[in-house]
Structure 1
């Protein structure tokens, strides 16, 4: 009997111990800490969307360039100087016309003035210059054959001779025919159905990273000769990082008395077509020699243009596309033979 009692005790004890383990109290939960400061609020703001101004290469707020470009034939006769609005152009082409004189095809899109001028007549090379920009072209008239050539492009024509809307007027500062002025900003507002131009050239982020500034030779002066009557030049202004423009040895001033200037100066050597007699036609399809000057330096380049509607393309000696600096550009269409370009 005693042996049975010991066995019973032995068998029961583990059960009692196991039961005791199952009924022990659970540990109390500790309270979560209560925040004592203000909740974190992020102050990050996503940067505003941007785009490049297509004819200048400047970075601008997205959507601000959603309007057409305006090209205009601008007079460069002594009786037309100083011109109105040339200081605010994106691109200016200088071309040879009859009598050894020059005229401009000036293009605005980034900063369109209220008025521009004096506006003069169209010439046979102008459709090839202006067509790639689309948008608007303003001129005073011209020979019927040249007007028809311009009318047969995708560009919307504004012609003083046909104007009934009052978008043009004559002003008193100059004598006719050097006094036709266009209400430029009004003209662009009335063409809201037209889109922005395509980007014409490649651009760097700043002057220092432009192709000419990186790879070019130092240049203090760019002297261009169209004829004995027209020989503009540009001098480098290191302090302001611009090319200052002169004509026939004197500063070329705008209507506010400030010397005209450019971020980029391009020269293109071009042939002259004599089909129209005393009216020279600059040949702009094909290719030829060029120079590109930015940041006080110049590189040799080659220009090419496949057809009237295609932009002009510039490549360096290795066939790499030339990058201009953001800013305005003057392009000198210098005739082969009678014209010249001298870099110093």
Structure 2
């Protein structure tokens, strides 16, 4: 599970390797910025870039998905939490060779990348168990859900200069990612977000927005209450051009997040890759026009 930066936008985009990920978590890190945690399970990427620092939410997610966290160091308080929870399953650029963590200008925000296959080899040599994890909790079905709500697109906005939109593509059956441009003045128009390794626009089978409680210690230090959520929390799901209102919960610290539809039955995702946005509970979610949805991020 590799940390991928979304800022600084100019030198750090387009990202590398996100199209190879089975699962990507997106969450807020302060100062109107977001960051990604990419899970590589079914296939490897020769380059996940740019690698950035760890956050307090990371050890929660890594334990739930039985992963190894690869990150570009962290604030001292964050690093202590990461090492306490993950031990040898936490790999910082400060204590790993090349490969798996390589690149010039290692002090730079965009100077380091990760070879995911080499992460497996590195951790195995250091005694980290590399068996098939138990990831029960996520269900998949080719059959679209029964709903009258169309989900042609969904915009996630932190501020005008940080927003991303998913637009459903009938031909591929996936949602294509758009992102604000920093090269066309202060209007920040949306442009296709491509993977620099393939030159193709990011395409995901499922887009999930779950609403969770953020804890703000200061404007750059946040935690998110994912663990020990035994009650149903709100979530919305986009697949097959449809939107489904539902719920999520995480009663077990060593099992994946569970998803449910409005009736409380397990929500079946579309087979393929999934992008999960962790939005604050105060975020506004509405339909700007038929089939066009938006999530305006906010925390208390």
Bin for the TM-score computed over the shorter chain: 0.7 to 0.9
User: Alignment partner for residue 134 of structure 2, among 198, 222, 240?
Assistant: 198
The structure richer in helix per residue is: 1
> Residues 225 and 339 of structure 1 are in contact (CA less than 8 Å); yes or no, is this contact kept in structure 2?
no
Report the alpha carbon displacement of residue 293 of structure 1 after superposing the two structures with TM. 1.0
TM-score normalised by the chain length of structure 1: 0.72
Report the alpha carbon displacement of residue 300 of structure 1 after superposing the two structures with TM. 0.2
The RMSD of aligned alpha carbons is 2.2
Q: Aligned runs of 1:274-289 on 2, under 5 Å?
A: 274-285=216-227, 286=229, 287-289=232-234
Q: Aligned runs of 1:199-218 on 2, under 5 Å?
A: 199-206=135-142, 209-210=143-144, 212=145, 214-215=146-147, 217-218=149-150
Report the alpha carbon displacement of residue 271 of structure 1 after superposing the two structures with TM. 2.1
Q: Aligned runs of 1:131-280 on 2, under 5 Å?
A: 131-154=63-86, 156-164=89-97, 166-171=99-104, 176-192=108-124, 193-206=129-142, 209-210=143-144, 212=145, 214-215=146-147, 217-248=149-180, 249-255=190-196, 256-280=198-222
Q: Does 1:116 align with 2:48?
A: yes
> Residues 138 and 257 of structure 2 are in contact (CA less than 8 Å); yes or no, is this contact kept in structure 1?
no
SS at match of 1:92: strand
Report the alpha carbon displacement of residue 177 of structure 1 after superposing the two structures with TM. 1.6
* Greater Cα offset, 216-225 or 245-254: 216-225
In structure 2, the gaps of 5 or more residues are: 181-189, 293-300
| Shift in CA distance, 257/339, structure 1 to aligned 2, threshold 3 Å | farther
Q: Does 1:290 align with 2:223?
A: no
User: Alignment partner for residue 57 of structure 2, among 101, 121, 125?
Assistant: 125
> Residues 263 and 325 of structure 1 are in contact (CA less than 8 Å); yes or no, is this contact kept in structure 2?
yes
> Residues 135 and 194 of structure 1 are in contact (CA less than 8 Å); yes or no, is this contact kept in structure 2?
no
Deviations 1:129-155 (A, max 9, x none): 221112311001001221121122247
Q: Does 1:72 align with 2:2?
A: yes
Deviations 1:247-306 (A, max 9, x none): 122211110321101001101112220134532223223242111111111110011112
Deviations 1:63-99 (A, max 9, x none): xxxxxxxx01111111311111111100001100121
**Separation of aligned partners in 2, 1:228 and 1:338:** 15
User: Alignment partner for residue 244 of structure 2, among 299, 302, 306?
Assistant: 299
**Separation of aligned partners in 2, 1:144 and 1:194:** 28
- Residue of structure 1 in register with 2:262 after alignment: 317
- Aligned pair count? 269
> Residues 224 and 339 of structure 1 are in contact (CA less than 8 Å); yes or no, is this contact kept in structure 2?
no
In structure 1, the gaps of 5 or more residues are: 1-70
TM-score normalised by the chain length of structure 2: 0.82
